[in-house]
Structure 1
Amino acid sequence: MTTIYDISKATGFSPTTVSKALNNYPDVSEKTKQIILKKANEMGYIPNSHARILTTKKSWTIGVLFDEKLNVGIKHPFFSAILESFKKNVEMKGYDLLFISKDIGGDKITYLDHCKIRGVDGVLIITSDPNNEQIQELINSDFPCVLVDNESRKASSVHSDDTMGCYLAVKHLYSLGHRKIAHIYGSRDTFAGDLRYIAFLEALKELNLEIRDDYLVDGGYFTYEGGFSAMSKLLELEDLPTAVFAAGDLMAVGAISAIKEKGLRVPEDISIIGYDDLDICRYITPKLTTIKQNTDLIGENAADILINAIDKKNTRTSVIVPVELVIRDSCKSLK
């Protein structure tokens, strides 16, 4: 097996310089680093993980924690897309991922204890309840943490500009001549659900549109079934909305199904706009107009923030990622 001493002999650099280059130390020039890395690759060098930990004082492992009420975890396309981006960016810096649970070997333990046992360098947290006692314990610990699709006064966070996203959705419908706009909102005990609900109402006020309680329907935890059920309630009204803004794409798809089942058409009878820009938006009929969340940028920012925190290069940081309106076929002009 190739060692740093073999690479040292082949390149002419000292073992110390080789070790620093392989561990990305800043006091080694880029030219020297590239020579050493190229030779290490040619010689099939595989770093010893224990030696690397002793040298860098890191485990080179990042914990990933899912604790949310949707009970879908990474099966949800939004979360899986963020995680894929996060994974790609931390792997480029030499880190592995480890999923954090409350169970090791059949023994129930806290998230913080799991992180201590596994010796992770930092934690990516995806949770619908950052005030959860165990989440708070982790946030208040010495482990660098970053929250995704959420906010906290104590931890760094990355989430989309939901306020602007809701305004863009309502403004688009308004520009098409819609004045009777309903909202299928995500459960308000989630960060996104509550923020988008409030932002929707603010957008109506800004455009001097009437706020009707019967046009506000809880779609639950952003599921197809929740959207279908909420839309079914709206379809029972005598005065139907001309347009519906759903706070998630899966709810929007459920709403479209409920409308079709009622014998109505989208967008001819009711326009629908969603939120997320999941892949499914391009394949359903009609193709869904929606607000695009930039999952690549969310994952990239979360990776940068967390790695910088691990390297003690930053303090608490909050990043709000821009969104954009994606116009397809599910909204009709009334003009």
Structure 2
Amino acid sequence: MLRILWPSQFRYDKKAIILTTLKDIAVRANISTSTISRFLNNDPTLSVSDKKKQAILEAVDALGYKSPQRSKKNFNQTSSDDTQDCEINYELVLVNFLTPTQEIDDPYFTSIRAGIQNRCLEKGITLRSLHIHQIEANQVLLRNAAAVVAVGHFSNEEVSLLYHTNKNLIFVDSNPLGLKTDSVLIDRTALAHDVMSFIITSQCKKPAFIGNNEERLHAFREVTQSHGLYIESLCKVSKEYCIESGYQAMKEMLQHKTLPDVVYAATDMVAVGVYRAIYEHGLSIPEDIQVIGTNDISSARHMSPSLTTMRLFPFEMGEAAIDMFIETLAGRRHKKTVLFSHEFIWRDSFTKK
């Protein structure tokens, strides 16, 4: 496997040589890796206080961390022996289907970006970011990039444009071209079947679903129909995974005579909206309606009651996308798909039986 290591990124102690990472800086500065990554990448959309900037810079200096970009500025000043550990600084383009404002409101995709940025910083890879609406105006950038990492869900036209511009594509959280490209995915079908298995064994009689039209919706319908539990009014398909979509869908659901005894929310952000609608209707969780979310965002454990959810690994998914690119540089010729697992986090909003 190709390793791209920069001498300036090491800190030393008496026992070992330790590679300083964004997580080390995050722990020392008490600031998220996403914010640190965006700050070190000079992200123009980032708004951060002077106090946080100072904390990041102090942590960087204390840990002896220097970004690969800074290291390359001093490249010509190193000896020929020093350069043996350095490689060409490849440039990747990250294409995001969400706008910066939308991404800030979605912890899942924010974590994917942070994982991508973290691995690029570690490996000395230059990363340029675009929103999907910017691809036509940046065809030269996309064509000349060593690879394009496309995060999220894109239309057929957008996928076709990306693929014909640069066939070195890595999709994260979708796989629209199958075996033609690399991809990093959650196994949504397995995840949904696990959730539905617990719902069925807990003897819930009126399960509900709020989410997008994808594998989890299909699994919900398949399982509930096979057990004679499917009720059309308790299945809400929304276009966005956000608090407002969960709130509005749950409000509509509560107008019907048949109320659910459990709601399977496609994301924790959707679940936050579900909580609000249930409480406004004068009902309680989990006594009247139980709730299961997906992602295990940091606030899930602090919700009232704490949210039962499926833990995902978006940060690691972002890192895996860059690892796949490095494998390609090292000679991998075949395309592959990496499926990430999930972990059930039991809390108070759903009672396991």
User: Structure 1 residues 130 and 204, CA, compared in 2 at 3 Å: closer, same or farther?
Assistant: same
AA at the equivalent of 1:120: A
Task: Tell me the equivalent position of 1:65.
Answer: 95
Give the aligned length.
281
Counterpart of 1:203 (choices 208, 223, 228) is 223
In 1, Cα distance between the equivalents of 2:165 and 2:90? 19
CA contact (8 A) 2:95 2:130 kept: yes
Q: Is this contact kept in 2: 1:122–1:310, CA < 8 A?
A: no
Q: Which residue in 2 is equivalent to 1:178?
A: 204
Aligned partner letter, 1:226: S
Q: 1:82 aligns with which of 112, 117, 120?
A: 112
| 2:148 equivalent to 1:123 | yes
The equivalent residue for 1:137 is 161
Structure 1 225/63 Cα, relative in aligned 2: closer, same or farther at 3 Å? Answer: same
CA distance in 2, matches of 1:102, 1:128: 10
The two structures have a TM-score, normalised by structure 1, of 0.74
Q: In the alignment, is residue 155 of structure 1 matched against residue 185 of structure 2? A: no
Q: Could you tell me the percent identity over the aligned residues?
A: 25
CA contact (8 A) 1:101 1:111 kept: no
1:74 is displaced (CA, Å) by 4.9
Instruction: Please say if residues 102 and 110 of structure 1, whose CA atoms lie closer than 8 Å, have aligned partners that are also in contact.
Output: no
AA aligned opposite 2:126: D
Q: CA deviation at 1:60?
A: 2.0
1:224–1:251 Cα contact (<8 Å) kept: yes
- Alignment partners' CA distance in 2, 1:272 and 1:197: 16
Q: SS of the counterpart of 2:118?
A: helix
Structure 1 stretch 258-267 or stretch 140-149: which is displaced more? 140-149
Unaligned 5+ runs, structure 1: 1-19, 25-33, 35-40, 189-193
The separation in 2 between residues aligned to 1:70 and 1:63, in whole angstroms, is 16
* 8 Å contact kept, 1:69–1:128: no
Instruction: Give, in whole Å, the separation in 1 of the partners of 2:4 and 2:117.
Output: 23
CA offsets 1:89-114 (integer angstroms, 9 cap, x no match): 2322221221125799xxx8444333
Q: CA RMSD in A?
A: 3.2
CA contact (8 A) 1:59 1:120 kept: no
Secondary structure at 2:321 match in 1: helix
In 2, the alpha carbon distance for the partners of 1:225 and 1:81 equals: 21
Between the aligned partners of 1:212 and 1:70, the Cα distance in structure 2 is 37
> Contact 1:244/1:273 (CA < 8 Å) preserved in 2?
yes
CA contact (8 A) 1:126 1:149 kept: yes
Which of the numbers 290, 308, 313 marks the counterpart of 2:332? 313
Q: Distance in 2 between matches of 1:281 and 1:101?
A: 29
CA shift digits 1:295-331 (9 cap, x unpaired): 2331222111122224442332111111121111111
Say which one has the larger Rg.
Answer: 1
TM-score normalised over the length of structure 2: 0.71
Aligned residue for 1:29? none
Which shows bigger deviation, 228-237 or 196-205? 196-205
* CA gap 1:165/1:83 in 2 versus in 1, 3 angstroms: same
Distance in 2 between residues matched to 1:314 and 1:198, nearest whole Å: 34
1:17 corresponds in structure 2 to none
